[in-house]
Amino acid sequence: MSDIREAATTLHGQLQRGLGRAARRAADRPGAGEYVYDCVRRDPRWDARCDDRSLYYARLMVDLELPAGPLAEHLFDPADHADADEARVRLTLDVLADLVRLSRREAASPLRRYAEEGAHWFEALDTLVRLGDPRLTDGLETLVAARCDDDALADLFAGSGGPVAAAWAARSPRIAAALDRRRGRGRPVPPVAAARSRRDRTDDELLDIARRRDDGAIGAIFELGRRRAPVLLDLAEELLARPSRWGGAVARALWDYGPETLPRARDWAAERGGCRGVGLGLLARHGTREDIPLLMTHLEDALERRDWAASAAPIEGLGRLRAGEAVPLLKTAWSESSYSYLRPRVLTALTRTAPHTAEAFTAEGLWDCEEAVRAIAVQTAPLTDDTRVRLQRLQLDEAEDPGVRAASAARLV
């Protein structure tokens, strides 16, 4: 989609990025509620698979006393049945679910109605199942059994399906049968014989198998990685030249190597070939202070290009190496990045490289959209009147992650 994000210096832009500073400012800014609605309706996440937003926006709706009506209007807009992309409603459904978790029970009504009438009804059903309250789904089992084939039921009841699935199964034989099949699958039997066969082979034999690029290649690659065989570094230069599942397996297998990879990793990181990303990842994990200039160059380049994913490895490496010269770039990444999933890495790097400077960011992090940021912040934020009040709220918030709640309670002792 086109970039709908406003400048990071504006309240609207900060709300789009899920920054804690925006959550703190919103209560004092007339019109902030319209910005919140806009963020939910026009999902601003850089990567919806990773970036958290729903609880952040739901909390803002509670704090600003915003009604759920405009979200329902978005769900049932005439465009709903004309837009085949479920991304139009995914964030709205999740925000409604989090409003229910925050005791705004009226948000359940449009969520259930969309499951019955909406174009992307399966997404709403999935949201209701994950919400886990059978009182909100009573009577929907007939619709589920009528609309879902066996594969859809299996997807809907990933894991056990929870209390909603159990309640439906008690009234629907078809759903009960689907749950039984799901539970009966169990875990696949590990291919013990194949694993033993690979372990009996030499590095060169495994290298030959890996180069075939068939189903057996993956196992051979991981066995070479388990051995930390040097030949895997050569294979990486062959398989990472273009994206493939075998290249992905090599990248994962190399993740467990140690400092012995540094000479090759430095060469890869300095190039622009397919091994560049793996090289940066290895430098982030194992590099020395000698590698700070190269990591700085990559971070500067990634930030200039707004390539937030490419920023992750340099940030991790510079933080691990406690590179004080990186602090201005880290502050820029925190404020500017549209990729909120990046911020836990930024906050970790700041706390390692500049603990005093990091205090303002850890305090802000208590209001951040990312659970991982809040997890760091509750353990490291300075204790002031404001942060104590926030820690108390996080401790008591049933919608918050249990680990964050427990850490908040520990800080307040």
Contact partners, residue 320, CB within 8 Å, separation at least 6: 284, 285, 287, 349, 352
Q: What is the pLDDT of residue 135?
A: 94
In terms of pLDDT, which residue wins out, 187 or 378? 378
In terms of pLDDT, which residue wins out, 178 or 349? 349
Average pLDDT over residues 163-182: 91
Q: What is the pLDDT of residue 402?
A: 96
207-256, pLDDT tens digit by residue? 999 999 888 899 999 999 999 999 999 999 888 877 888 888 999 999 88
104-135, pLDDT tens digit by residue? 999 999 999 999 999 999 999 999 999 999 99
Average pLDDT over residues 37-57: 95
In terms of pLDDT, which residue wins out, 48 or 1? 48
Cα–Cα distance for residue pair 336/300, rounded to 1 Å: 13
Please provide the average confidence, as pLDDT, over all residues in the chain.
92
Structure tokens at 412: 């307040």
Calculate the alpha carbon distances from 394 to 125, 130, 375, 390 in Å.
28, 21, 10, 6
Cα–Cα distance for residue pair 80/114, rounded to 1 Å: 10
Range with the poorest average pLDDT among 117-121, 140-144, 185-189, 289-293: 185-189
Q: What is the pLDDT of residue 256?
A: 83
How much is the pTM?
0.90
131-156, pLDDT tens digit by residue? 999 999 999 999 999 999 999 998 89
Q: What is the pLDDT of residue 189?
A: 47
Calculate the alpha carbon distances from 411 to 172, 231, 374, 391 in Å.
47, 49, 13, 8
Confidence of residue 194 (pLDDT cuts 50, 70, 90): low
Confidence of residue 83 (pLDDT cuts 50, 70, 90): confident
Average pLDDT over residues 167-193: 77
304-314, pLDDT tens digit by residue? 999 999 999 99
Q: Is the pLDDT of residue 192 over 70?
A: no
Cα–Cα distance for residue pair 174/25, rounded to 1 Å: 51
Q: What is the pLDDT of residue 1?
A: 41
Q: What is the pLDDT of residue 2?
A: 46
Range with the poorest average pLDDT among 8-17, 38-47, 151-160, 396-405: 151-160
* Residue 227 contacts residue 252 (beta carbons within 8 Å): no
Q: Is the pLDDT of residue 183 over 90?
A: no
In terms of pLDDT, which residue wins out, 273 or 47? 47
